[in-house]
Amino acid sequence: MLEETHDTQDWEDGDEMDKHFVLDLFIAGASSNSIRAVANLREICEKYIKERYTLRVIDVHQEKSLASQEQLVALPLLIKSRPYPERRLIGDMSDTQKVLKGLGISGE
């Protein structure tokens, strides 16, 4: 499992923590869709929510117990657990506007 944390601030203020995104991207090994999903999502995060996100990339072949807990229906699957509400997006994250809408971010 790969984890990237981009939070250079202290999150003592509840309002600031509400702006921090917690993202879990479930992938299936090194498939082409998985590789595209990771690259596309990292690019979107760096452009639109830089330094305000934590991204975990979880390979379901290596983390079977974690994958079964989330009741996955298709891969790649992105779960945004924070800020609320939780949202799930399926696919290679190539449609930037769809991903931004799913994350609750307005494209700039």
The tens digit of pLDDT for each residue in 49-101 reads 999 999 999 999 998 888 788 888 899 999 999 999 999 999 999 999 999 99
Please tell me the predicted confidence (pLDDT) of residue 10: 43
| Residue 79 Cα distances to 9, 95, 108, angstroms | 23, 16, 22
Burial class (CB in 10 A: 0-12, 13-18, 19+), 35: middle
Average per-residue pLDDT in the chain?
A: 86
Domain count, the chain: 1
107 domain residue, yes or no:
no
91 domain residue, yes or no:
yes
Model pTM? 0.82
Do 18 and 83 touch, CB atoms closer than 8 A? yes
31 domain residue, yes or no:
yes
> What's the chain's length in residues?
108
81: domain range? Answer: 2-7+17-102
Q: What is the pLDDT of residues 65-76, one digit of tens each?
A: 887 888 888 999
> From CA 105, how far away is CA 98, in angstroms rounded?
10
> From CA 55, how far away is CA 4, in angstroms rounded?
5
108 domain residue, yes or no:
no
Q: What is the CATH number of the domain that holds 68?
A: 3.40.30.10
